[in-house]
Structure 1
Amino acid sequence: MPTSPACPQCTLENTYVDGGQYVCADCGYEWPMAGDTSAESGVVVRDSNGNALAEGDTVVVIKDLKVKGSSIPLKQGTVIKNIRLVEDDAEHIEGNSDKIKGLVLKTCFLRKA
Structure 2
Amino acid sequence: MSSAPACPQCTLENTYADGALMICADCGFEWTAEEGDGSGVVVRDSNGNVLAAGDTVTVIKDLKVKGSSIPLKQGTVIRNIRLVEDDAEHIEGNSDKIKGLVLKTCFLKKA
Corresponding residue for residue 88 of structure 1: 86
Q: Matches of 2:78 and 2:66 in 1, distance apart?
A: 17
Which ranges of structure 2 fall in alignment gaps of 5 or more residues? 1-36
Structure 1 contact 41–88 (Cα < 8 Å) conserved: no
Corresponding residue for residue 33 of structure 2: none
Q: CA deviation at 1:41?
A: 4.0
Q: How does 1:3-22 map to 2 (within 5 A)?
A: none
Q: CA deviation at 1:42?
A: 1.4
Corresponding residue for residue 74 of structure 2: 76
Q: Matches of 1:85 and 1:71 in 2, distance apart?
A: 25
Identity %: 91
CA RMSD of aligned residues (A): 1.0
Q: How does 1:1-113 map to 2 (within 5 A)?
A: 40-113=38-111
Q: CA deviation at 1:73?
A: 0.2
How many aligned residue pairs are there?
Answer: 75
Q: Structure 1 length normalisation: TM-score?
A: 0.65
> Which letter maps to 1:83?
I
Q: Structure 2 length normalisation: TM-score?
A: 0.66
